[in-house]
Amino acid sequence: MGRSPCCEKAHTNKGAWTKEEDDRLIAYIRAHGEGCWRSLPKAAGLLRCGKSCRLRWINYLRPDLKRGNFTDEEDELIIKLHSLLGNKWSLIAGRLPGRTDNEIKNYWNTHIRRKLLNRGIDPVTHRPMNEPAAMEVKTISFATADAREEHKVSAADLNLELRISAPHEQKTENNASLCFSCRLGIQNSKDCSCSRGTGGINIGYDFLELKTGVLDFRSLEMK
């Protein structure tokens, strides 16, 4: 069940407050304090809603309200607070004695926004409107095999060229050159062309160490 309304709207006055109503509200609060706004109108002899009495007092009648235009110091303070708090007008008003949150919000929308735009400042981000967007630097993370330390480098600075070099020419004990098949460790290949230089014996040099089942990557050169 929702909260019941603070008053019966059919029996309340609407529209502008009269001087007599203002005087009654001021006299009652001076004598009894603000108290409960739901019961205040009836106690003060006002045919008004409790919410209407509260807004009338806070925004127009309380004695510590400031009258007149905002000063330059207040303008700069509002701008600074807005850059920190955003549109939290009640918090901003709490740091400007005598000013109400509704008054500050209206003043922001009608004056200060225009002032910031004339300065070339975005009233939302409080940054120059022609400020270029920050360039995003993509990073690549990798860990070393030993230390497992994570390093981050710019993608623009990373220039890897992977090259597989052909095996250098291998020779037998009698200074005979090995063919490509023997360099790859392929024994008794019909394509062997170096068996004549080794007395008809296929050397079978295991260049990639395929006999042991281990592939040696030391021939991979990295620049």
Q: Read off the pLDDT of residues 144-169 as tens digits, 9 standing for 90 and up.
A: 544 444 444 444 454 545 455 555 55
Give yes or no: residues 40 and 78 share one domain.
no
**pLDDT at residue number 40:** 92
Report the share of the chain in percent with pLDDT over 90. Answer: 43
- Non-local (6+) Cβ contacts of 39 within 8 A are 50
Q: What is the mean pLDDT of the segment spanning 100-121?
A: 93
Burial of 180 (0-12, 13-18, 19+ CB in 10 A): middle
Task: Tell me, yes or no, whether 135 lies in a domain.
Answer: no
Give yes or no: residues 50 and 77 share one domain.
no
* Stretch among 75-89, 91-105, 146-160 having the lowest mean pLDDT: 146-160
Domain count, the chain: 3
Q: Which residues pair with 141 in a beta bridge?
A: 152
**pLDDT at residue number 25:** 94
SS3 at position 3:
coil
Backbone angles phi, psi at 206, to 5 degrees: -90, 80
Give yes or no: residues 79 and 111 share one domain.
yes
Torsion region of 69: left, alpha or beta (phi above 0 gives left; psi -120 to 50 gives alpha): beta
CA distance 214 to 186: 15
CB neighbours (10 Å) of residue 48? 21
The whole-model pTM stands at 0.49
Give yes or no: residues 50 and 108 share one domain.
no
Task: Tell me, yes or no, whether 153 lies in a domain.
Answer: no
Report the share of the chain in percent with pLDDT over 70. Answer: 54
Q: How many residues does the chain have?
A: 223
Cα torsion angle, 126, 129, 130, 131, sign: positive
CATH number at residue 90: 1.10.10.60
Can you say how many angstroms the Cα of residue 88 is from the centroid of all Cα atoms in its chain? 20
Q: Dump pLDDT digits (tens) for 14-35.
A: 889 999 999 999 999 999 988 8
Are 194 and 171 in contact, with CB atoms under 8 Å apart?
A: no
Are 104 and 96 in contact, with CB atoms under 8 Å apart?
A: yes
Which residue range forms the structural domain that includes residue 80?
72-118
Task: Tell me, yes or no, whether 222 lies in a domain.
Answer: yes
List the structure tokens of 53.
């009495």
Task: Tell me, yes or no, whether 109 lies in a domain.
Answer: yes
Task: Tell me, yes or no, whether 81 lies in a domain.
Answer: yes
Question: Given 3-state DSSP classes, what are the helix, strand and coil percentages for the chain, each rounded to the nearest 5?
Answer: 40, 10, 50
Nearest Cα neighbor of 126 from 152, 95, 161, 87 is: 87
Backbone angles phi, psi at 72, to 5 degrees: -65, -35
Give yes or no: residues 90 and 43 share one domain.
no
